[in-house]
């Protein structure tokens, strides 16, 4: 791991923020960044307490940080209501009539919701939840399309102290069931369907299917939003319509204070082993982290129109659609559908239409836009933009340069933001008015974030030496635990170097101190910015009657970043065929969701194993990456397996 990498971080073109941008920015220069960074690392508690004080607390904290590694308590003794901070704070003052959410549905329908209106809607829905017996600490599963009601449901949960558990609408019933069971959810909020590429994508049937097999806890209610009007089954006594529920309650609701460490949400994400883990985030620290990063990294201001293209089903949607921007009182655009509906001009048309000033998207989307052609963005006026963001995977320099030129008009800084579901908020990113950027690096740590790259022995790596990315000090928005599994939490994140958070990413720093993220070091794939565990896909494959054994690895892909390659051995009586391959792909789609469907499936008489019987995924990875095996294979049990596979992969 600690060998010097042959790949040098090039090209070394440096983009400095423009004078105009820096002049107005909160952090106007690299000197200002360095000064505040040093202060924040010398005294992190002082830095974070100052940020937290900008929020509304119903009771002040008695201690900023209580750190008994790996367990943190931030702002202990303090009480706040996260929803009040995101909504009420703005709903009664100067921002009452300010647009909070400018929503556009895929078919073109629109809604503008002001902070005043958002407050009423959230209060109503909080009353609906309480009327249905949903209480503080209850887990509520949310499975919705990208409509304002998804954010309203999350905020209403936060308001009453219920813990939301949002499941991305692209996941299948099996994934819903796993999350229901692991979290012990007692209510579901869903919709009949959502729009995607001109088609209705039904959602309710997957919920019905999952609930038919869910026995772990009693479901108090399933609330269904009518979005698409497709025919669905309503189970009497269990299901009710959103629009009917909200007419029966008042639009007034008093936000009670909760402990700073009160759980806010669980969000499931893939790990290297086993089923997805429920990443738990709590209230005061999480809100402080998302609030402060929005303020400094997106330089968010009242006059901005911000747009993050993520789905609320991912952490990016939680932190940078719902909590961060709303805590800042921002105006934001929210969009329901696909970027290419009706064509690849959709995003640029919306930027022109709404005068978007800050735009945050993923490298995989940028690569799709490059492929679609420059004429799409060229057809629209994008001069309102002043800042661009990127998230989810390393942004390759080609994509960075295209984004900078064709979307940012050469004038907008780009913030390449590195973070994770577990970190809650951005940890490494340029500060837009300050940081000189080289395409492809997430540059420097945010204030209060003590990031470092260590070798296997725990020593800090030298410049340009590859190592493991760690965070040495706790930060407010860090995950507090894996839901229901403290031991796994400790083992996953704090056992490589005791007391230090290991991100699971490989990285290196250049001589200027920029962090270059190389990618995951574990068996986690990053497919189009979506995180998938190889173990999950493998267990979906072996659940098929034809499959005896499966091994899944990632291979580089120009568009998706990584593609999924699967190797399967078949049970006797089953023959390899094109039909079977299609069936296996669909089977994975059905069990996990379309994003997990393997791109390549190779049937093989055997998998490469060590003499002790462990599948050597490293070899399979090398095979799909380079087409052959070069490394040490002396531990291999049966060499013929590899020669046969090499032929197969070459033929593809």
Q: Which DSSP letter does residue 527 get?
A: E
Query: Looking at beta carbons only, is 61 or 168 nearer to ligand WT7?
Result: 168
Q: Least separation, in Å, of the C-beta of 651 and ligand WT7?
A: 31
CA 293 to chain centre: 15
Q: What is the pattern of x (binds ligand WT7, CB under 6 A) and - over residues 293-332? A: ----------------------xx----------------
Calpha distance 210→165 (Å, rounded): 15
Calpha distance 173→207 (Å, rounded): 6
Which residue stretch of 239-247, 378-386, 389-397, 543-551 sits at the interface with ligand WT7 (rule: CB under 6 A)? 389-397
Pick from 105, 467, 504, 608 the residue near ligand WT7 by CB under 6 A: 504
Q: How far apart are the first and last CA of the chain?
A: 31
Pick from 100, 188, 255, 517 the residue near ligand WT7 by CB under 6 A: 517
Which residue stretch of 415-423, 540-548, 561-569, 612-620 sits at the interface with ligand WT7 (rule: CB under 6 A)? 415-423
Pick from 174, 239, 259, 393 the residue near ligand WT7 by CB under 6 A: 393
Calpha distance 480→486 (Å, rounded): 9
Q: Which residues, numbered 89-128, are part of the site for ligand WT7 (CB under 6 A)?
A: none
Helix, strand and coil content of the chain, in percent to the nearest 5, comes to 35, 25, 40
Which residue stretch of 322-330, 350-358, 501-509, 568-576 sits at the interface with ligand WT7 (rule: CB under 6 A)? 501-509
Which residue stretch of 151-159, 231-239, 503-511, 536-544 sits at the interface with ligand WT7 (rule: CB under 6 A)? 503-511
Using CB under 6 A as the binding criterion, the count of chain residues that bind ligand WT7 stands at 22
Q: Are 521 and 261 in contact (CB under 8 A)?
A: no
Asked if residue 525 binds ligand WT7 (CB under 6 A), the reply is no
For 545-549, which contacts have Cβ atoms below 8 Å and span 24 or more sequence positions? 545/571, 546/570, 546/571, 546/574, 546/580, 546/583, 546/584, 547/571, 547/584, 549/607, 549/615
Residue among 264, 332, 334, 326 at smallest CA distance from 85: 326
Computed on alpha carbons and rounded to an integer, the radius of gyration of the chain in Å comes to: 24
Asked if residue 430 binds ligand WT7 (CB under 6 A), the reply is no
Which residue stretch of 53-61, 289-297, 385-393, 536-544 sits at the interface with ligand WT7 (rule: CB under 6 A)? 385-393
Q: Least separation, in Å, of the C-beta of 506 and ligand WT7?
A: 9
Calpha distance 284→258 (Å, rounded): 9
Q: Are 296 and 447 in contact (CB under 8 A)?
A: yes
What are residue 597's phi and psi, to 5 degrees?
-60, 125
- Relative orientation angle of helices 148-160 and 115-131, to the nearest 10 degrees: 60
Calpha distance 531→588 (Å, rounded): 15
Query: Looking at beta carbons only, is 113 or 264 nearer to ligand WT7?
Result: 264
Query: Looking at beta carbons only, is 286 or 418 nearer to ligand WT7?
Result: 418
Q: Least separation, in Å, of the C-beta of 222 and ligand WT7?
A: 27
DSSP string, 361-417: E-HHHHHHHHHH-THHHHTS--TT--EEEEESSPPPHHHHHHIIIIITTTTS-EEEE
Asked if residue 496 binds ligand WT7 (CB under 6 A), the reply is no
Residue among 513, 510, 502, 514 at smallest CA distance from 478: 502
Q: Which residues, numbered 262-291, are part of the site for ligand WT7 (CB under 6 A)?
A: 269
Pick from 127, 364, 526, 528 the residue near ligand WT7 by CB under 6 A: 526
Query: Looking at beta carbons only, is 242 or 307 nearer to ligand WT7?
Result: 307
Query: Looking at beta carbons only, is 78 or 430 nearer to ligand WT7?
Result: 430
Pick from 253, 520, 597, 617 the residue near ligand WT7 by CB under 6 A: 520
Q: Are 510 and 466 in contact (CB under 8 A)?
A: no
For 249-253, which contacts have Cβ atoms below 8 Å and span 24 or more sequence positions? 249/124, 249/127, 249/128, 249/131, 250/123, 250/124, 250/127, 251/120, 251/121, 251/123, 251/124, 251/127, 252/123, 253/122, 253/123, 253/124, 253/126, 253/127, 253/159
Q: Least separation, in Å, of the C-beta of 534 and ligand WT7?
A: 14
Pick from 48, 265, 296, 418 the residue near ligand WT7 by CB under 6 A: 418
Q: Least separation, in Å, of the C-beta of 449 and ligand WT7?
A: 14
Q: How far is CA 562 from CA 158, 231, 323, 325, 440, in A?
A: 35, 37, 29, 30, 17
Query: Looking at beta carbons only, is 277 or 609 nearer to ligand WT7?
Result: 277
Which residue stretch of 117-125, 175-183, 411-419, 642-650 sits at the interface with ligand WT7 (rule: CB under 6 A)? 411-419
Q: Which residues, numbered 151-210, are part of the site for ligand WT7 (CB under 6 A)?
A: none
Query: Looking at beta carbons only, is 155 or 395 nearer to ligand WT7?
Result: 395
Q: Least separation, in Å, of the C-beta of 79 and ligand WT7?
A: 29
Query: Looking at beta carbons only, is 45 or 510 nearer to ligand WT7?
Result: 510
Pick from 17, 145, 324, 394 the residue near ligand WT7 by CB under 6 A: 394
Q: Which residues, numbered 539-598, are part of the site for ligand WT7 (CB under 6 A)?
A: none
Q: Are 171 and 592 in contact (CB under 8 A)?
A: yes
Which residue stretch of 244-252, 329-337, 396-404, 519-527 sits at the interface with ligand WT7 (rule: CB under 6 A)? 519-527
The CB density around residue 523, as the number of other CB atoms within 10 Å, is: 21
Q: Are 412 and 307 in contact (CB under 8 A)?
A: no
Query: Looking at beta carbons only, is 346 or 530 nearer to ligand WT7?
Result: 530
Which residue stretch of 180-188, 418-426, 609-617, 628-636 sits at the interface with ligand WT7 (rule: CB under 6 A)? 418-426
Calpha distance 501→453 (Å, rounded): 11
Pick from 138, 149, 416, 523 the residue near ligand WT7 by CB under 6 A: 416
Residue among 268, 177, 233, 165 at smallest CA distance from 591: 177
Q: Are 577 and 570 in contact (CB under 8 A)?
A: no
Q: Which residues, numbered 440-479, are part of the site for ligand WT7 (CB under 6 A)?
A: 442
Q: Least separation, in Å, of the C-beta of 521 and ligand WT7?
A: 9
Calpha distance 382→403 (Å, rounded): 12
Query: Looking at beta carbons only, is 105 or 271 nearer to ligand WT7?
Result: 271
Q: Applying CB under 6 A, which residues contact ligand WT7?
A: 269, 315-316, 391-394, 416-421, 442, 503-505, 517, 519-520, 526, 531
């Amino acid at each position: 791991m600690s060998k010097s990498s042959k790949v040098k971080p090039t090209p070394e073109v440096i983009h400095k923020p423009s004078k105009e941008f820096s002049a107005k920015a909160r952090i106007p220069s690299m000197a200002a960044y360095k000064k505040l960074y040093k202060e924040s690392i010398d005294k992190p508690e002082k830095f974070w307490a100052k940020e937290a004080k900008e929020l509304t607390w119903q009771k002040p904290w008695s201690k900023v940080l209580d750190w008994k590694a790996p367990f943190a308590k931030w702002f202990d003794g303090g009480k706040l209501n996260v929803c009040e901070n995101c909504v009420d704070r703005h709903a009664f003052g100067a921002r009452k009539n300010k647009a909070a959410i400018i929503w556009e549905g895929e078919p073109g329908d629109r809604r503008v919701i002001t902070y005043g209106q958002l407050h009423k809607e959230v209060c109503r829905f909080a009353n609906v939840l309480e009327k249905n017996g949903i209480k503080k600490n209850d887990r509520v599963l949310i499975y919705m399309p990208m409509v304002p009601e998804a954010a309203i449901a999350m905020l209403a949960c936060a308001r009453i102290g219920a813990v939301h558990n949002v499941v991305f609408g692209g996941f299948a019933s099996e994934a819903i069931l796993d999350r229901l069971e692991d979290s012990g959810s007692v209510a579901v909020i869903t919709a009949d369907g959502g729009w995607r590429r001109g088609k209705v994508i039904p959602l309710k049937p997957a919920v019905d299917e999952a609930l038919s097999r869910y026995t772990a806890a009693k479901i108090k209610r399933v609330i269904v939003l009518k979005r698409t009007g497709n025919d669905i089954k309503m189970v009497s006594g269990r299901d009710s319509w959103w629009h009917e529920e909200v007419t029966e309650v008042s639009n007034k609701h008093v936000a009670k204070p909760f402990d700073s460490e009160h759980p806010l949400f669980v969000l499931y994400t893939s790990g290297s082993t086993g089923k997805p883990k429920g990443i738990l985030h709590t209230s005061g620290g999480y809100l402080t982290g998302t609030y402060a990063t929005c303020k400094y990294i997106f330089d968010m201001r009242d006059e901005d129109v911000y747009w993050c293209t993520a789905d609320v089903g991912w952490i990016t949607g939680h932190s940078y659609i719902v909590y961060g921007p709303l805590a800042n009182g921002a105006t934001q655009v929210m969009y329901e559908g696909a970027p290419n509906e009706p064509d690849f001009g959709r995003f640029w048309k919306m930027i022109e239409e709404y005068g978007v000033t800050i735009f945050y998207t993923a490298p995989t989307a940028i690569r799709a836009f490059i492929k679609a052609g420059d004429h799409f963005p060229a057809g629209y006026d994008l001069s309102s933009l002043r800042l661009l963001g990127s998230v989810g995977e390393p942004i390759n320099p080609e994509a960075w340069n295209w984004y900078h030129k064709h979307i940012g008009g050469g004038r907008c800084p780009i913030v390449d933001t590195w973070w994770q579901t577990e970190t809650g908020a951005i940890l490494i990113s340029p500060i837009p008015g300050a940081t000189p950027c080289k395409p492809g690096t997430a540059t420097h740590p945010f204030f209060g974030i003590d990031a470092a790259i260590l070798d296997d022995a725990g020593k800090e790596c030298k410049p340009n030496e590859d190592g493991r990315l760690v965070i040495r000090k706790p930060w407010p928005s860090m995950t507090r635990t894996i839901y229901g599994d403290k031991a796994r939490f400790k083992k996953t994140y704090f056992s490589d170097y005791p007391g230090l958070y290991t991100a699971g990413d490989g990285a290196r720093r250049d001589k200027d101190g920029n962090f270059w993220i190389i990618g995951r070091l574990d068996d986690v794939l990053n497919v189009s910015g979506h995180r998938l565990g190889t173990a999950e896909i493998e267990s979906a494959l072996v659940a098929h009657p034809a499959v005896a054994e499966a091994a899944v690895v990632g291979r580089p892909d120009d568009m998706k970043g990584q593609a999924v390659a699967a190797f399967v051995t078949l049970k006797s009586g089953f023959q390899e065929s094109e039909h079977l391959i299609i069936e296996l792909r669909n089977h994975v789609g059905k069990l996990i969701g379309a994003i997990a469907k393997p791109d390549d499936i190779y049937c093989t008489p055997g998998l490469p194993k060590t003499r002790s019987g462990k599948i050597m995924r490293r070899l399979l990875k090398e095979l799909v990456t380079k087409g052959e095996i070069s490394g040490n294979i002396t531990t291999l049990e049966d060499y013929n397996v590899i020669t046969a596979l090499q032929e197969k992969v070459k033929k593809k």
